[in-house]
A = this chain, B = another copy of it.
């Protein structure tokens, strides 16, 4: 993967991104970020004085347990990611992932004759080592005034590994099965792929400035996300971030009026704060500490192709660019990589059929990019209005836009279309009304049957490359239903699981899970099976009543206690408190249940019935269509 350090130091993390980070055990990022709970809108009154016209939550209720945007310095996130990669690299028998810096690609080719050979390395990249020892990474970690404490800022204790033995200026040729270009808006990889990969779209002349300051102000909403549209000086958006910093986006020109002779290079911090003062007047704003500033022109562009011959892929800004104001850039980009990562990973391990799985990346993410660009265009238009008339007329639309926006901006609304990985099945739809194939499988709180502990179901589903069959077994206190669930278990264990080779996963993914494995037994089925039933906990003894598929036996570790959950729990002697909303949330019948199969990236692949006669062909056909079988 070829990637670039970003110099923009703010990172606005959206709900779905927090869910993804959490699935790698990186929940600390949520706790250390600044939570932006509210948005306010300020419009001019009849005298042209700005006034708060409304206040709304900065998210939609119930979309995710990460219920708002979090802002945090990008260097902090990179530090967490680098440490997590290092921790997994320290597991014996787990392949090492190295992060190298001071390297740039200088040539790129594909050997077309090898494209279809899955054992070959058709991608050839020449890499050149820099001669400067400049630490690009360190530069991105903020340059806050030395006299100020860097509480959460500049957490740079995890730097990339610089190859010790590489001579400055030396070149090395790398042969690869796959290459991913995540190298930003000016992507070298994209350019090397030729003109058909050029981004297309528009760049307007409107210039905006962005700055991170510790504001000294009497504006009352400085600690919430505020959108201010004035007739006196244009528009401004502010986003509170950590350490008393606030990010300001300040409109300098609208690209139409006479002041459009301004160019980006003419912008100064003084110009930015003076404009902000005009917009916020009669409130005062100033700063003595500025953390970062920049100027940009609004443009929305994207590529027609996200991959070349299923061997070279583009992700993030390398294939779609837009304005930073909606806080989408790195969220959509990381989600690109997250969509692609498991597909390439399983392809490299020979566990999936590359030709079946890899084309879904382009299909699934190109659509998201198009939506992002349409969203950003309208957002920018609504924020760029200058005249009192335009502002007034668009006021209702702006608020409506923002109320609906979280469905898109949180990343929760993403809905991948029908494909080999996403089975839309009208018949199955009634089984789990609110579990939609193509959407991410929502989390809910369940109770571990064996120890009574509550878990977010997402916590039990870390991003380790496995598929998961969630057997919502219904009321297994009833003999008939229990029989179905156990028969399904038998079939899964005896027929489905043995069809596919196991996977070597890293047991370090999430310390909260306390996975215990012997080193000699690191291979595990690529399909993990969970049972979530609705029977009262004390009516079921899992060792006596439930097929061992759901609580596998290990000769040294005994029975497994971590894969059977229930919705009810004993809260006091002789009292069962039912928490049936879990099934309600998913729209699943509490008696007969349903089976949900979740992809490694947490998106729903298919829904089917608990009845093994109905389920087995569907499940088997589906996995066969893209998983490499053991016997073929």
Contacts and interface: CB of A to CB of B under 8 A. Distances in A.
Interface in A479-519: 507-508, 511-512, 514-519
B37 A452 contact: yes
Nearest to A459: B31
A57 interface: yes
A464 to B, nearest CB: 14
Interface residues of A, number: 68
Given A518-B147, A558-B216, A152 B573 contact: no
Contacts of A387: none
Given A37-B452, A224-B451, A573-B56, A516 B149 contact: yes
B216 A91 contact: no
A223 B571 contact: no
B218 A511 contact: no
B243 A514 contact: yes
B543 A218 contact: yes
A555 B517 CA distance: 57
A511 B152 contact: yes
A509 to B, nearest CB: 10
Contacts of A32: 511-512
A543 B222 CA distance: 12
Contact of A520 (B91, B147, B520): B147
A220 interface: yes
A559 to B, nearest CB: 8
A27 B32 CA distance: 12
Interface in A534-591: 538, 541-544, 555-559, 561, 570-573
Interface string A210-239: 000011111010111000000000000000
A451 B36 CA distance: 7
A35 interface: yes
A133 interface: no
A34 interface: yes
Nearest to A35: B453
A518 B541 CA distance: 60
B572 A57 contact: yes
A450 interface: yes
A55 interface: yes
Nearest to A542: B220
Q: Which 7 A-B pairs have the closest CB atoms?
A: A223-B451, A216-B558, A37-B452, A223-B450, A38-B452, A288-B556, A243-B516
8 contacts: A56-B572, A149-B507, A214-B516, A214-B557, A220-B541, A224-B452, A244-B557, A244-B558
Interface of A: 27-28, 31-32, 34-38, 54-57, 61, 91, 147-149, 151-152, 214-218, 220, 222-224, 240, 242-244, 288-289, 399, 448, 450-454, 507-508, 511-512, 514-520, 538, 541-544, 555-559, 561, 570-573
